[in-house]
Structure 1
Amino acid sequence: MTNDLVVILTAFDLEYHAVRERLVAPQLHHHDKGSLFEVGRLRGSDCRIALGQSGKGNHPAAVFAERAIQQFSPAALLFVGVAGALWDKTELGDVVVATHVYGYHGATSEDDGAKARPRAWETAHTINQLAQHVARSDDWSHALPGDHTPKVHFGPVAAGEVLHNSRHSYEARWVREHFNDALAIEMEAAGVAQAGHFNNVPVAIVRGISDRADGTKNSSDDADWQPRAAAGAATFATHLAKQLIARQEHTAMAKERDTTSHTTVTSHGIAGIVARDVQNSTVHMSTGPESTATDLTVKLRGLRDQLANARANGAVDDATYKAANEELDNASRALETNEPEAKNRALLSLKRLRGLVAEVAELVTKIATTISAVNGLS
């Protein structure tokens, strides 16, 4: 898993550009089957976004999501865009975050009519909790233009293969009868949720309400609300992505601390253990020697050599190589000082370096051991 990267997928250009304008220096990334992504960093954050456009429909969205997961091993996958409201439970411009997704087209046809056999996917608890936190903070909406502050709603989203623009059609009556707790209706979430389920990757569906699925789609009101709804969904989703990466970093640092913690073994007999300190019958063991500045200098030099090899082999392009060397320089300078925050600055640079070369497994492994060594500094 790539601890600093979230995949965001959209269906249409309008939604894509609403996310893209929040990225810093996005770089084009080619999938070997022809799919394109742009990878950039969110402003003021260590969070990287791999952005792709799947097109309309659950089936292409599922395939695109599968490719993105296999390509980037993201911390999470978000599908972001606009949707139609159901039953007047939300206002135009509001944001809906799915608590679960209904694939509402599952059914069996019998002599006495159609019987619903839907599929449903529940949003992972962690991602739902973080989304609730973002919604409560209200900070996310400060980045939106104008004075409209969207409300954030949590509830089911219905996903099928029909573009809904009526409250009275057979399809509308079907959704009303079987899925009347759904807040929004769209055409991609079921495919994305299935791909996430198969790959054990948490998925969030974030939708801005652009119409009421009542015959007003493609009207002048719809043309006005679509960009506003797309902007609201993109803004909320990118704030959620930052929270997801912050949690990943917190979890990773906790694990790194655990690997350098001391173990206490209580013995009532003879302990055949080589230990750091022995006091009465309690043995204090260290899992490894503490790091020294000399050790870290050697590790950083090894990282530079391995980075140069990766560039020579074509695994790292020139722009990435330059940016990665800058992060190594930053880490080296920080470790040469005795300032209180030097260790944290070095760790931050190494984590950025890890993000830059996330696709080079050997480098990522070596960076991980270096981060552990920096954490071991006294």
Structure 2
Amino acid sequence: MEPSADVVVLTALPVEFRAVLHLLRDQSTLVHPQGTSLVKGTLPGLGGTVAVARIGAGNLTSAAVAERVRQWLRPQALLFVGVAGGLKPEARLSDVVVSTKVYHLHPGKETPEGFHARPVSGAVSHRLEQAAGIALCSESWRKWVPDEVRATWQEDGPHVHFQPVIAGEVVLNSPVTPLRDQITFHYGDALAIEMESAGVARVVDLSEDLRILTLRGISDHADASKGEADASGSQYRASAHAAAAAAALACELLPETAGPGGSSRAVRSAGAIGEASAPEAEWVRALMAFADMGRGDFRHSLLTDMGRILGLPHAFMAAESTVARDHVREIVRRMNTYRDAPAARTALYAALENARPDDGALEGLSRLLP
């Protein structure tokens, strides 16, 4: 069976990698033929799988690895999780920033009159950003923060900001440099600076089947106090907060089995769902019988309607593919592992019935329903 993961998390530093690993259960290792290693596991209370890699710093590396895992594991979401330097006073140490835009820092033109930036705003997934807004709108996401980190809170704990970030090939350790002035002038809405997200965003620009989002903990103020902050353990705390925010986002993307506190819900296992459902291939054939199923916009509308029927704050999540049959197969897989699979199947039928009535195809699909 080909390797896969529902959510892939990329990190740059060992401290960031360990923060995500701390949350994963049932861990195993995946190794790409070219050597990239990921640890795959599950989050307590959630179905589906999460795979995390430590890839080192820099946008070039992040772009190469993001494209590699996109083709290899076909995740429904790719998250970059780690630390960043805060650029504004409201970015307190250990706060979390969720990217609404990703600026590539360095593109521009150097002239006798000075440097003229040519801002490149990288793509982030609107769907993931909206799901993060739901997941992080209350303090419940903090339940994923380890107790030893929570014990260090001296005020009201970390805040979450939804603002742009900048990614460049530089560590910024001073507030009084030409580069800092350039950032303030050209990227005044950015809250934090880091070194990897622009590469991942470029992969999305060139792809049609990957959703990405960056979640960063503020570990320093991108000034001369960075060394002191790092020595105090700020990277460890900021990494733990970013990993906790990513886990809370995963709760919006993956089917539930039990909450992080151990309270279970009435959810059937994926195996039990498979036993109660027709074989996957039959579902795929029945769905491909709809004449419009080969169109990407039709499938996207279908997922949006399923989410609405199920009462979700976002579309029903299924990893995209440019190949219609592969996308349909992923929709079926996600439907069969959803926390209430019969409801997902009913929602799929209702969405198709509303979208484009096709009596023949609907009749074939109805035979697969309980």
- TM-score, normalized by length of structure 1? 0.67
Segments of 4+ moved more than 4 angstroms? 1-4, 249-252, 258-264
The alignment covers a number of residue pairs equal to 277
Larger relative contact order (CA 8 Å, sep ≥ 6): 2
| Equivalent pair of 2:5/2:40 in contact (CA under 8 Å) | no
3-state SS of 1:71 partner: helix
SS in 2 for 1:165: coil
The answer to whether structure 1 residue 50 and structure 2 residue 51 are counterparts is yes
- Unpaired segments ≥5 residues, structure 2: 256-315, 319-329, 336-342
Instruction: Indicate how the Cα distance of structure 1 residues 113 and 132 shifts in structure 2: closer, same or farther if over 3 A, else same.
Output: same
Whole-Å Cα distance in 2 between the matches of residues 33 and 221 of structure 1?
33
The match for 1:185 is 193
Q: Where does residue 303 of structure 1 map in the other structure?
A: none
Deviates more, 1:219-228 or 1:242-251: 242-251
Residue 124 (structure 1) shift: 1.9
Whichever residue aligns with residue 207 of structure 1, its letter is R
Deviations 1:115-155 (A, max 9, x none): 11121124222111111111113211123222532100000
Is 1:162 matched with 2:163? Answer: no
Unaligned runs of 5+ in 1: 265-272, 276-283, 291-372
Match of residue 199 from structure 1: 207
Question: Residue 98 of structure 1 contacts residue 156 of structure 1 at CA under 8 Å; is this kept in 2?
Answer: yes
1:121 counterpart residue number = 122
- Aligned CA distance change for structure 1 residues 259 and 87 (closer, same or farther; 3 Å): closer
Structure 2 residue matching 1:136: 3-state secondary structure: coil
Deviation at 1:245, TM superposition (A): 2.6
Matched residues in 2 for 1:2 and 1:180: separation?
42
- Residue 247 of structure 2 is matched in structure 1 by 238
CA distance change for structure 1 residues 212 and 260 in 2, over 3 Å: closer, same or farther?
closer
Report how far residue 242 of structure 1 moved.
2.4
Secondary structure in structure 2 of the residue aligned to 1:39:
strand
CA distance in 2, matches of 1:127, 1:234: 15
Report the alpha carbon displacement of residue 258 of structure 1 after superposing the two structures with TM: 6.2
**Paired residue secondary structure (1:229):** helix
State, as a whole percentage, how many aligned pairs show the same letter. 35
Following superposition, the deviation at residue 37 of structure 1 comes to 0.9
Matches within 5 A, 1:25-174: 25-144=26-145, 145=147, 146-147=150-151, 148=153, 149-174=157-182
TM superposition score normalised by structure 2:
0.69
Offset at residue 64 of structure 1 (A): 0.9
User: When you count strand as a share of all residues, which structure comes out higher?
Assistant: 1
Q: Distance in 2 between matches of 1:274 and 1:111?
A: 69
| One-letter identity of the residue aligned with 2:225 | T
Alignment check: 8 A CA contact 1:260 1:287 kept: no
Bigger CA radius of gyration: 1
Residues 109 and 289 (structure 1), Cα distance of their counterparts in 2 relative to 1, 3 Å cut: closer
What is the identity, as a one-letter code, of the residue corresponding to 1:224?
G
Match of 2:346 in 1: 257
Asked if residue 6 in structure 1 is aligned to residue 14 in structure 2, the reply is no
